[in-house]
Amino acid sequence: MKSRVFKPPQGEVSTKDILDVIDSQKNIANGIAGLDSNALVNLANLPLIPASQLDFSFAWEKVAEISSSGVASVDITGLDGDTDKLYLLLVAAYNPSTTATGGLFVRYNGDTVVGNYAWIGWGNAAGTVGTSYQGFGSTSGVAGTAVGGLPGGAIGFFVAYIHAKGIPVGTTLYVQNVGMGFNSGPVTYGNEAGGWKKQANITEITLFTKAGVAIDWLVYLFKPKW
């Protein structure tokens, strides 16, 4: 039966207005009657979620939290990327020195083979746009994928999604990361993306500064509950 949309009458209520209301209620009743018993049982068993629980923790579970000062790298261990499939990485960092970090990078399972990593970064620093990149198979560069940059004296905030299980391309799996960040000196924002030619299930993630500059880190790693 074709549904009719009932619009509240304006002014006096006519007999037609009343019939329209009755007709709309019939359509609702017919729709419910058309559901089979299993559908009705499933509807009845849907959990009622209090509004107070509909926050970040409803969908994401914290895997790790690291706060460390004056170090060039931090490690997150005990992971199971194949089971977790996806990670959300949040980083807040401060560079107390006058030396730029050369970039913040992620390394998987301690793999230091440069050719297993590729990345590209785009940034706008005080109105000056720049890009940098590294391709798979490179013989020189960084053994890691980029997640951001942090000049001397700057505070930075970065977020990245990591597809830990990997994307198959032919017979090879590639772990992908994509994200964005912001830092304060000079004001810079940018996007970073990269990948790792997967060698094994991810059990460890290392964050490090390219130039080996010691900085202050606050790192959170989450996995989905869904």
User: pLDDT by residue (tens digit) across 160-173?
Assistant: 999 999 999 999 99
Same structural domain, 1 and 89: no
pLDDT at 130: 86
pLDDT at 127: 77
Which regions in the chain score pLDDT beneath 70? Answer: 1-49, 51-54
Written as six digits, the tokens of 118 are 């590729």
pLDDT at 68: 97
Tell me if 40 is assigned to some domain.
yes
Same structural domain, 208 and 147: yes
Same structural domain, 27 and 127: no
The pair phi, psi for residue 57, each rounded to 5°, is -70, -15
pLDDT in tens, 165-199: 999 999 999 999 999 999 987 778 889 999 999 99
Tell me if 53 is assigned to some domain.
no
Same structural domain, 115 and 213: yes
pLDDT at 34: 60
Domain range for 136 is 61-224
pLDDT at 38: 58
Cis peptide before 186 (omega within 30 of 0): yes
CB 177 within 8 A of CB 193: yes
What predicted TM-score, i.e. pTM, was given to this entire model? 0.76
Same structural domain, 119 and 150: yes
As a whole number of angstroms, the distance between CA 162 and CA 225 comes to: 15
Same structural domain, 68 and 134: yes
Same structural domain, 65 and 42: no
pLDDT at 125: 76
Same structural domain, 124 and 14: no
